[in-house]
Amino acid sequence: MRTVADVVIIGAGATGCSIAFHLARLKRTRVIVVEKGSLASGMTKRSGGMIRLSYPWESEARLALASLGYFQNWKELVGSGCGFTRTGFVTVAQGETQAAQLEHQVAMLRRIGAKAEILSREQLGELQPAAHVDDVTLAAYEPESGYADPIAATQSLAARAKKLGVSFHTGTFAKRVLVERGRVFGVDTTTGEIETMSVVIAAGPWSDRLLKPLGVKIGIRSERAQVAFFERPAELKAGHAAFMDSITGVYFRPHTFGLTLGGLTEWQSDAKPNPDQFEDTVDQAYVQDVHRRIVARVPAMVNARYVRGHAGIYDTSPDGHAVLDRVPGIHGLVVAAGFSGSGSALAPAVGACIAELVTEGAASTVDLSPFGFARFGLEEC
- In order of their start, the domains of the chain are 3-46+150-219+319-376 (3.50.50.60), 87-144+221-314 (3.30.9.10)
Average pLDDT on 33-54 reads: 94
* pLDDT the model gives residue 381: 38
pLDDT tens-digit series, residues 94-149: 999 999 999 999 999 999 999 999 999 999 999 999 999 999 999 999 999 999 99
**Terminus-to-terminus CA distance in the chain, angstroms?**
34
Would you say 64 and 50 are in contact if contact means Cβ atoms under 8 Å apart?
Answer: no
Tell me the pLDDT of the chain averaged across its residues: 95
19 contacts: CB under 8 Å, gap ≥ 6: 9, 200, 202, 336, 350, 351, 354, 355
* pLDDT the model gives residue 173: 97
Phi, psi of 188 (to 5 degrees): -95, 120
* pLDDT the model gives residue 2: 82
Number of H helices, E strands in the chain: 9, 21
pLDDT tens-digit series, residues 195-233: 999 999 999 999 999 999 999 999 999 999 999 999 999
Alpha helices in 202-275 (DSSP H): 207-211
Residue 374 CA to residue 325 CA, distance in Å, equals 9
348 contacts: CB under 8 Å, gap ≥ 6: 18, 66, 67, 69, 70, 71
pLDDT tens-digit series, residues 163-181: 999 999 999 999 999 999 9
